[in-house]
Amino acid sequence: MMSKSRNQSEPPVAGRTPAPRNHHFRGSLGRFATGVAIVTFDGATKRHGITVNSFTSVSMEPPLVLVSIARSTKAHDELAGRPFTVNILGAEQRELAMHFAGRPGPDPVWVEGRTAPRLSGVLAYFECTPWAAYDGGDHTLYVGEVADFDYRNGDALAFANSSFTTIPESQLGMEELL
Ligand SMILES: Cc1cc2nc3c(=O)[nH]c(=O)nc-3n(C[C@H](O)[C@H](O)[C@H](O)COP(=O)(O)O)c2cc1C
């Protein structure tokens, strides 16, 4: 017999507060391993960067990518209608990930991209013009049309179970299989 998921098989627990449920929801989401990226852009008065793991490829033609940004962040309102870069991090860039997640470290090295500012030395980048923004509850889903992109060789930084980890570079890419 197929096992039911935890929530289907168990009746609601009386008195369970929303906080442990949120914690459990986060824990469940954390079992999905992702890469780590930083969204960078020029706002009205300052340059922004925010670490995300919500990056998703959306479309090949036109080339579209998506990031989900919490409404509570400083970047949220400013990103609307602005070009941005998604910087995909290499394994050695954990400090950079933390820098743009509220734990400032050494000043990052910037590159003036053609569409939006980006970070030096990242594993890959996608410079985007704004395509659409969708309501995503307490987040907004920002979709960008990729105007410029590139990548380098190297291991990838990954995030799973609330920890950073490394995904070794494979010997051969599999782009031709996709
Ligand atoms: C690995 C990792 C992934 C994250 N992913 C996201 C994300 O996808 N969307 C988001 O809004 N915040 C995400 N965050 C949290 C933001 O980076 C963090 O809230 C940021 O510091 C907010 O900036 P602010 O304090 O200047 O508003 C992530 C943080 C980490 C460490």
Please report where in the chains the tokens 């080339």 appear, as a residue: 63
pLDDT for the residue numbered 6: 41
Cα–Cα distances in angstroms (integers) from residue 173 to residues 22, 68, 88, 178, in the given order: 37, 27, 16, 10
Strands 37-42 and 47-52: antiparallel
Q: Is the CB of 36 under 6 A from ligand 1?
A: yes
Alpha carbon of 173 to ligand 1 centroid (Å): 29
The verdict on the CB of residue 84 being under 6 Å from ligand 1 is no
* pLDDT for residue 80 is more than 80: yes
Tell me the per-residue pLDDT of 42-76, one tens digit each, with 9 for 90 and over. Answer: 999 999 999 999 999 999 999 999 999 999 999 99
- pTM, 2 dp: 0.89
* Cα 57 from Cα 75, distance rounded (Å): 21
In the chain the domains, ranked by start, together with CATH numbers, are: 34-169 (2.30.110.10)
What does the pLDDT read at residue 18?
Answer: 62
